[in-house]
Amino acid sequence: MVHRLLVHWRDARGDGALPTLDAVLKRNLGDIGPSIFVLRVADGEGEPAFESVGDSFADELPSDLTGQPVAAVPAGTLLHRPWAVTTRFSPKRSR
């Protein structure tokens, strides 16, 4: 799936050096679209929040997580796995 997303990324960049995330996500991503989630971090501060969550995650989630912080993801779900790994290895920031 990562390779197929990379192909879309390369196509979206056209003659430019780097495509915007919107340029990639506006493309017809086919069957990988429902399996993609996008996190946004405001100025590198605070907890990332979901900008979008693909439909393939919907069955495990109690509600749409768009706009919600990653802490809102229920433990034990497929969407929780990448976040659980990153928090295990990320240094804690002082507040």
Domain ranges of the chain: 1-32, 36-95
Residue 87 three-state SS:
helix
pLDDT in tens, the chain (95 residues): 788 888 888 888 888 788 888 888 888 888 888 988 888 887 767 788 898 899 998 888 999 999 999 889 998 898 888 776 665 555 554 44
pLDDT of residue 87: 58
pLDDT of residue 44: 65
pLDDT of residue 68: 92
Q: Model-level pTM greater than 0.75? A: no
Angstrom distance (rounded) from CA 9 to CA 11: 5
Taking CA atoms, 81 is separated from 23, 28, 63, 88, in Å, by 27, 26, 18, 11
pLDDT of residue 94: 44
